[in-house]
Structure 1
Amino acid sequence: MSNNIVPRESETSLAELRGDCARMAPHWVVPTKTATEPVAPSRIHGVTVPPSSARMIDAMSDYGD
């Protein structure tokens, strides 16, 4: 006897799901955007980057040059 379980497809179609989302959208609260100020590098503590990642980023011209 085999234990092959075939996943059931959702009973909700994509069109129904999109319709549900469209009906819910007016009820969602959108927070007001607030401007954030940059954090001074001296306040950033506890971030470690593995040497291999640092080398990879350094080798990327967008970041390392």
Structure 2
Amino acid sequence: MPISEMTSLSTECLLATRPGYTDLHNSCHQLQDIPLPHGIGILLQSRCACSCHRSGGRA
């Protein structure tokens, strides 16, 4: 997995890529971008880029 892809995953989804931890995808709460209040275009927290979220379901 490329470094750039790893940094865009939540902690839970990154750990879920390891054997025995796949159920941690269900613990991910980074399902949407959270903007910084009054910070136009600045994100406080970005959405998890895991494929389990992009497909509309969980892994």
Do these two structures clear the TM 0.5 threshold for a shared fold by scoring above it? no
Q: Which has the larger radius of gyration?
A: 1
Higher RCO (C-alpha 8 Å, min separation 6): 2
- Smaller-chain TM-score range? under 0.3
Query: Which protein has the bigger strand share?
Result: 2
Task: Report the TM-score when normalising by structure 1.
Answer: 0.20
